[in-house]
Structure 1
Amino acid sequence: MSTTTTTKPYPAPPATPPSWEYTPEQVTKSADDCIASSDELLTEVAALPKEQRTFENVIRRMGLHEVEVDSLAEPALFLQYVSQDEGIRNASVDSDKKLQEYGLKVLAREDIYEALLDAEAHTKANGVKLNAEEQRLMDRMIRDRKRNGLGLEKTKRDELLALQTKIMGLEVDFQRACNEEKGSLLFTEEELVGVPQASIDGYTKEDDNQYADLPETRRRAVLGYEGKTIQNVPVLDEVVKLRRKVADLLGFDTFADYVLDVKMAKDSKTVLAFLDDLLDKLKPVGEAERKKFLALKKEVHESHGWPVDDEFNLWDYRYYDRLWTERELALDDEKVKEYFPVDKVVPTILDIYRQLLSVQFYRIPVESGGGTWHKDVEAYAVWDHKDGKDGKFLGFMYLDLFPRENKYGHAAVWGLIPGWTKESGARSYPTVCMVANLAKSTPKRPALMKHGDVVTFFHEMGHAFHGLCSATQFGRFHGTHVARDFVEAPSQMLENWCWLPEQLKSMSEHYETHEHLPDDIIASIVKSKSVNQGLFNLRQLFFGLFDMTVHTSKEDQDLTKLWCDLREKTSLVTTKGEYIGGQSGFAHIVGGYAAGYYGYLYSLVFAADMFESVFRADPMSPQLGYKYRDCILRPGGSRDEIDSLVELLGREPNNEAFLKQLLSGAEVDAKL
């Protein structure tokens, strides 16, 4: 599949893309070389006499060296998610563990901490003028080490390091179990009544529970999925216990407070108040939706002669949500999917980004370094294209879009290499990679996408362009290296384009008739954005509340019981007393979102405000798109995120647009 959006000759960029020619030994060597190089630099920094420790030879030197060695290692570490070679994947996982453990040791070095403090003191005493990003770099380097125990007595520092090292190893093991899970369930054709033949032909986990008519089939499928990585239950138990000890050593009330100290929300009280307030507002909406779904369930059960009950089961939610949408909005996911062939959607979405953000893409020829880790992967060079002319080179982008065995199973973007300004003043350019698992073609029809898949793809591309359009001085602050409770906001804001009639028309084309989506279906899709949002967002609230409950508790808990009971209380669905440890597949909780899952909803406040205030009136304005690039994407994490928002909005952000979007669904629903 080609997603090229220009037929112009390939312009050679001022850099070469990464090489993907790796063996397991080379993966291991990349990590070992990074450690050796870092050790050499840190030894030199620690040996500097106290009076010679300055911003330039301590702070800047360490900041630049850190990103240089990380840029050498990250592509090799990324291969654990995408390589078909088991030896390479294993070497990548082992190298990841090794480098994470080494990173903890670096942060625990008291001699380096003292060198940083001396450099800070020298800077202040001599009136050295730093720009805002340089000051931020110095502050963050020192803060990182305080958060890792420096300033504590040595016995506590050693204990902290041991705890963090053990946690990191367990997190890698947990993630690997999720990545490499290969469980399956066997069903007869009779048990799959209602499941579209196309889904059976190209079966995926995601398609299993929302179509099957037989409740028992859905129950088995959903509970089987819940328990697919059940071996992770004791792993997460241990991780939570160890995190609690980390917080205690560092003087924080809870692990959540330790994590949130460096985020926009700042503390657990703020987050819990946000989640509880949202729960109060959404629960009546969700209860009304549950009531209408139960009425539909009663109708379906009576029509089949099945027993009728008043239980809204976990395996009922997606089925009746889909059925209700099909009936009330005349919106059939399978029919809509026929208008979204991958070969049409992907290049159109890239073209929307091209127009909105004033960028241009060029497919990289193999002879120019366009080799990849798999034949299905596409490599691009991306340029600024303001006013219709190619300007500055922005970076490299890889698209790895189709499923295969042992590949990362969801959709995500890796900022493999950040951009930064070298000591010489020359620019080092970023590399981003989007990994997805779009449907593959079958003998009967091409690869097709549900509208939800289109939204996910558009969202992830937002992360990719955050990395490509950022232009910070230091790699540490590049692109998505922002506070975790803001990182989703830019991509969430961009999802709105998938609900705009003009864009839906442009990215759709029936795979047989080549017609765009009809206006009546587009109108139904747009309406569907607002309906049934109560239960959907209560599900998100459940994940956030589970995460915060786990990380604010001071005692051991039965996490399986907590997972099931809290889901029933918050999401309004039941498993009829069956306790299966679904938290064992909650990869976010070990993948950087510990005490941070609330951020998906928290950042929606900013996303809604940005779209309604800036783009609603003229969504495809290149002038507004460039302003958004300049205010939000360009600075990355080089300044406080609130400052970027204020620059774009012209005021402090508020939650008015967010609440209006969430609560409008009940009004739309009442009219249907």
Structure 2
Amino acid sequence: MTTLKPSQPPPTWKHSATDIVSLTKAGIEKNREVHDSVAALSPADCNFTSVYVALASTEAELKNLEPLLFYKNVSTEKDIRDAATEADNLVKNFSVEAEMRLDVFNAKKAASDNIAKEGAPLNAEEKRLVEKMLLDGKRAGLDLPEAQRDELTRLKKELSQVCVKFNQNFNEEDGKILFTLEELKGVPADVISGFPKQTEDTKELYEVTHKTTDIFPIFKYAENPETRRRMRESFDGRLSINVDLFDQALSLRRQIAAILGYDSWADYITEVKMVKSAHAVDEFLDDLEKKMRQVGIKNLETLLALKKEEHGKKGMPFDGEFYAWDYSYYDRKFVETELKLDDSLVKEYFPVTVVVPAILRIYRDLLGVRFQEISYETWHPDVQQFAVWEKDAKDESGFVGYFYLDLYPRPAKYSHAAVWCLIPGYDLPNGKHNYPVAAMVANLAKPTPDRPALMRHGDVVTFFHEMGHIFHELLSKTRFSRFHGTSVALDFGEAPSQMLENWCWEPRVLQLMSSHYKTQEPLPVDLITKINKSRYVNVGLFYLRQLFFAKFDIKVHTDKEATDYTLLWNELRQSITLLKSSGDLMPGQATFAHLTGGYEAGYYGYIYSLVFAMDMYATVFKRDPLDPESGRLYREKILLPGSSRDENEFLKDFLGRAPNSNAFIEEIFGTSASRPL
């Protein structure tokens, strides 16, 4: 295969703390100059090019600063993370300043008037740019009197600083809890071997962090309920430092919404979503909760009986209650006893070194691309970097973009799995294209002295899902950066990746992705059958937990007055999830990073978009999920337009009809109703 030279070099990762701040300031100043020049135009000189194209170009340049801000999530050096956090604050404050510029908004309105008078021919994406930029101004309150605009600017800057601090605390959290070997009874030996040891009063203790790779095995395997309780409460209480910040964020949002004339922050946020209103979110969640509650009650009865039986056999007291720290343990026990499915055995078939290349091959063949691993300096030695090309590329015109994989945990790194668009794709003023760059950050288990790095099936699903976001970023192609990739309405944004999770339950695909770390044999048919049977086991309790997060989110963003959010968190969790707590109130809301990371009043979207995901899969892919022709259609209709078209339009185009919930209802309720619990 001929080695081709990419059309643009990858980002550099050699920045000092000083560089990060100074480059950010320079980028902001350059943006400000463009805004000043647009604002200085006479009304007669305001047109699509002088105003909208100029602003879109400088907007893209601001997005290109993202690699500098990204360091706060991945750097091992505190001064670099602190500088990136400072830079993030600078960008957020400038963004507030920019969106509040009345002179620029007036230029937009003058340009819009001139376009209408002249009958200037604009294509669909250009018209959408005009529409969205005008809406930005209205949603920013630029039609309001000066005093209210000034107050909005102050409140928005304060809100951005609160959210940055909240998330900085999240990334910097490094709490630990100590257990004896006896207290860890039941946890797999390969997991325990990865815990650092220390000695205290001649007693050997194992150090467990709040990283997902540490906590999940405790929740799922620790036989001692007291161990699980301590772990659960430590995890839920790990960010009490954020309680006041959470209160501040909600207070500021209520004030902003009131000034803008919205009934609530949730109404402000949902106005530009597919769902359109907070009331519609409430209706959707209430309806789903009614359907899920009965299924959840049956799930709970089954798991409670399992708990009673185990406590009786082990001579442990049984109080007839089922607690939040019991769920993962007995869910796993149920799968193992009823389905004879051993999660630790399944994990042996998924070495990271096999799964990652296999998933890349699946995406390659499905979407018609190819990868070239490259060796440029990145932010950490563990990071892999890839150049992506069209499958049949013969020259640089077939270049697609770059992506990074940062897969293993380390101190102060972002603690979950997510994808960042580091550089968006868009057309440059010189007619060339700026190619996208994306990064996946995950926290997969590292190798132990006894075994290579292995992935649970759930980790495989998550990785497949996040790669969906990577390719949404890479294969979108729009003229303007604001419409690139995953910039779609947030309540559709998860749908493409949720749809792709279905591949991880397909027997043919599971065999392609698996290879036992000792025998190199793929997953046997009986294990695949058990994995599939486990998919919707206890589905009611699973979705009630998701509904709790969504309902807490929408409630705190529709309520008119502040309340005790720790109390609300605990009361709602118990009433919706059906799982008891010990009575000690843990400030779980302080760990809800979605609500300060741009997903506030939007958590419902995970379930809402699942309706679209199930419809897309059932309609186009279920017959043959590896069919390249279906992949081409998906790439062309769903990925390529980004948000340059209305989501309802391109979804209808892909499905050949308006979307509906039939596939979701059949998959979730039909399956759970027919399968013995």
TM-score by length of 1: 0.97
Does the alignment pair 1:187 with 2:184? no
Match in the other structure for 1:27: 20
Residue deviations 1:509-543 (CA, integer Å, cap 9, x gap): 11011111111000000111122111001100000
Do the aligned residues in 2 keep the contact of 1:409 with 1:437 (CA within 8 Å)? yes
The letter of the residue matching 2:175 is G
Provide the C-alpha distance between the structure 2 equivalents of 1:165 and 1:387, rounded to a whole number of angstroms: 46
Matches within 5 A, 1:410-421: 410-421=416-427
Does the alignment pair 1:52 with 2:62? no
Match in the other structure for 1:571: 577
Query: 1:178 pairs with 170, 185, 191, which one?
Result: 170
Counterparts in 2 of 1:94 and 1:270: CA distance versus 1, 3 Å: same
Does the alignment pair 1:603 with 2:609? yes
Matches within 5 A, 1:36-115: 36-71=29-64, 73-115=65-107
Does the alignment pair 1:582 with 2:588? yes
Match in the other structure for 1:445: 451
Provide the C-alpha distance between the structure 2 equivalents of 1:523 and 1:390, rounded to a whole number of angstroms: 45
1:380 partner SS: strand
Deviation at 1:387, TM superposition (A): 10
Do the aligned residues in 1 keep the contact of 2:7 with 2:396 (CA within 8 Å)? no
Match in the other structure for 2:109: 117
1:209 partner SS: helix
Deviates further, 279-288 or 26-35: 26-35
Do the aligned residues in 1 keep the contact of 2:7 with 2:397 (CA within 8 Å)? no
Query: 2:531 pairs with 521, 525, 534, which one?
Result: 525
The letter of the residue matching 1:375 is P
Do the aligned residues in 2 keep the contact of 1:530 with 1:668 (CA within 8 Å)? no
Provide the C-alpha distance between the structure 1 equivalents of 2:401 and 2:559, rounded to a whole number of angstroms: 44
5+ residue gaps, structure 2, are 196-213
Counterparts in 2 of 1:390 and 1:211: CA distance versus 1, 3 Å: farther
Does the alignment pair 1:328 with 2:338? yes
Residue deviations 1:432-478 (CA, integer Å, cap 9, x gap): 11111111101111000000000000000000000000001101100
Do the aligned residues in 1 keep the contact of 2:464 with 2:504 (CA within 8 Å)? yes
Matches within 5 A, 1:134-283: 134-203=126-195, 204-283=214-293
Provide the C-alpha distance between the structure 1 equivalents of 2:395 and 2:363, rounded to a whole number of angstroms: 16
Deviation at 1:206, TM superposition (A): 2.8
The letter of the residue matching 1:406 is A
Match in the other structure for 1:4: none
Match in the other structure for 1:347: 357
Provide the C-alpha distance between the structure 2 equivalents of 1:145 and 1:34, rounded to a whole number of angstroms: 22
Deviation at 1:602, TM superposition (A): 0.2
Match in the other structure for 1:493: 499
Does the alignment pair 1:538 with 2:544? yes
1:399 partner SS: strand
2:667 partner SS: helix
Provide the C-alpha distance between the structure 1 equivalents of 2:265 and 2:183, rounded to a whole number of angstroms: 45
Deviates further, 109-118 or 380-389: 380-389
Counterparts in 2 of 1:389 and 1:601: CA distance versus 1, 3 Å: farther
Match in the other structure for 1:303: 313
Residue deviations 1:194-218 (CA, integer Å, cap 9, x gap): 1111111224233221111011111
Do the aligned residues in 2 keep the contact of 1:360 with 1:390 (CA within 8 Å)? no
Match in the other structure for 2:205: none
Provide the C-alpha distance between the structure 1 equivalents of 2:318 and 2:81, rounded to a whole number of angstroms: 49
Provide the C-alpha distance between the structure 1 equivalents of 2:466 and 2:394, rounded to a whole number of angstroms: 25
Residue deviations 1:256-286 (CA, integer Å, cap 9, x gap): 0000001000001111000000000010000
The letter of the residue matching 2:306 is L
Deviation at 1:414, TM superposition (A): 0.4
Provide the C-alpha distance between the structure 1 equivalents of 2:672 and 2:129, rounded to a whole number of angstroms: 46
Provide the C-alpha distance between the structure 2 equivalents of 1:81 and 1:10, rounded to a whole number of angstroms: 33
Query: 1:644 pairs with 631, 635, 650, which one?
Result: 650
Do the aligned residues in 2 keep the contact of 1:530 with 1:664 (CA within 8 Å)? no
Calculate the aligned-residue CA RMSD, in Å. Answer: 1.3
Counterparts in 2 of 1:387 and 1:111: CA distance versus 1, 3 Å: closer
Counterparts in 2 of 1:386 and 1:281: CA distance versus 1, 3 Å: farther
Deviation at 1:389, TM superposition (A): 11
Provide the C-alpha distance between the structure 1 equivalents of 2:9 and 2:518, rounded to a whole number of angstroms: 40
Residue deviations 1:624-657 (CA, integer Å, cap 9, x gap): 1010000000000101101111010000000011
Do the aligned residues in 2 keep the contact of 1:361 with 1:383 (CA within 8 Å)? yes
Do the aligned residues in 2 keep the contact of 1:193 with 1:213 (CA within 8 Å)? yes
Provide the C-alpha distance between the structure 2 equivalents of 1:183 and 1:387, rounded to a whole number of angstroms: 49
Provide the C-alpha distance between the structure 2 equivalents of 1:615 and 1:388, rounded to a whole number of angstroms: 30
Provide the C-alpha distance between the structure 2 equivalents of 1:324 and 1:390, rounded to a whole number of angstroms: 54
Provide the C-alpha distance between the structure 2 equivalents of 1:380 and 1:467, rounded to a whole number of angstroms: 14
Same amino acid, percent of matched pairs:
48
2:370 partner SS: strand
Provide the C-alpha distance between the structure 2 equivalents of 1:591 and 1:479, rounded to a whole number of angstroms: 18
The number of residue pairs the alignment matches comes to 659
Do the aligned residues in 2 keep the contact of 1:533 with 1:665 (CA within 8 Å)? no
1:163 partner SS: helix
Provide the C-alpha distance between the structure 2 equivalents of 1:391 and 1:384, rounded to a whole number of angstroms: 9
1:540 partner SS: helix
The letter of the residue matching 2:11 is P
2:492 partner SS: coil
Matches within 5 A, 1:298-447: 298-364=308-374, 366=375, 370-385=376-391, 392-447=398-453
